[in-house]
């Protein structure tokens, strides 16, 4: 009995952790840094701009964030993601072109022309692999 109760209590924490940090760090985060044709890099705006998608400052010349900074980014990004559901995840929905099912307006433009964009798919796969939180 007591164990069953404990499991119920712990379930939300397990779900919150179901987004994979290693995949985030090696596959997803590099996309925020990547120079993608015809687009400014996410990091160019999302360190300074006061939005819910606020990345840690990146030291000049650095190829990426320290693990500690990555963990902070991961926490921020996780709040913009619905585990298991890329379509409902603001991180992807907001910068996706409206015609492709995204939001009407993103201050940083249509970063993903469609859901077939390889970077969109990498992020979507990461979200899909996580368990839904209910
Ligand atoms: C040229 C600057 C610029 C670039 C580049 C940019 N963005 Fe943005 N982004 C903004 C601005 C400005 C806002 C706030 C206004 C709005 O909601 O669109 C924003 C908002 C967002 C939000 C909503 C945050 C919130 O507060 O809810 C998400 C998610 C987002 N951007 C994702 C991205 C992703 C992912 C990339 C790269 C693939 C990216 N952006 C590239 C300027 C940019």
- Kindly tell me if the per-residue pLDDT of 50 is higher than 50: yes
- CA geometry: angle at 102 spanning 96 and 108, to 5°? 45
- Kindly tell me if the per-residue pLDDT of 15 is higher than 50: no
- pLDDT tens across 112-128, in order? 999 999 999 999 999 99
Which pLDDT band, with edges at 50, 70 and 90, does 62 fall under? confident
pLDDT at 100: 97
C-alpha span between 100 and 31 (Å, rounded): 20
Which residues form the pocket of ligand 1, taking CB atoms under 6 Å from any ligand atom?
40, 42, 44-46, 49, 51-53, 80, 90-91, 94-95, 105-108, 111
- Kindly tell me if the per-residue pLDDT of 8 is higher than 60: no
- Kindly tell me if the per-residue pLDDT of 9 is higher than 70: no
| Residue bearing the bigger pLDDT, 134 or 122 | 122
Q: Which of 92, 106, 123 to mutate to test the pocket of ligand 1 (most atoms within 8 A of CB)?
A: 106
Contact between 90 and 80 under an 8 Å Cβ cutoff? The reply is yes
Nearest alpha carbon, ligand 1 atom 15:
107
C-alpha span between 108 and 32 (Å, rounded): 12
- pLDDT tens across 75-116, in order? 999 999 999 999 999 999 999 999 999 999 999 999 999 999
- Kindly tell me if the per-residue pLDDT of 58 is higher than 50: yes
Nearest alpha carbon, ligand 1 atom 11:
107
pLDDT at 80: 98
Contact between 83 and 62 under an 8 Å Cβ cutoff? The reply is no
């Amino acid at each position: 009995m007591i164990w069953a109760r404990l499991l119920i209590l712990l379930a939300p924490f397990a779900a919150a952790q179901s987004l994979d940090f290693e995949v985030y760090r090696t596959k997803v985060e590099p996309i925020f840094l990547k120079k993608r044709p015809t687009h400014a890099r996410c990091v160019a705006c999302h360190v300074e701009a006061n939005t819910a998608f606020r990345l840690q400052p990146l030291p000049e010349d650095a190829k990426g964030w320290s693990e500690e900074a990555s963990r902070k980014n991961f926490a921020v990004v996780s709040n913009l993601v619905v585990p298991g559901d890329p379509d409902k995840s603001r991180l992807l929905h907001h910068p996706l072109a409206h015609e492709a099912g995204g939001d009407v307006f993103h201050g940083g433009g249509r970063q993903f022309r469609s859901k077939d964009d390889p970077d969109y798919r990498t992020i979507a796969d990461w979200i899909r692999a996580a368990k839904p939180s209910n």
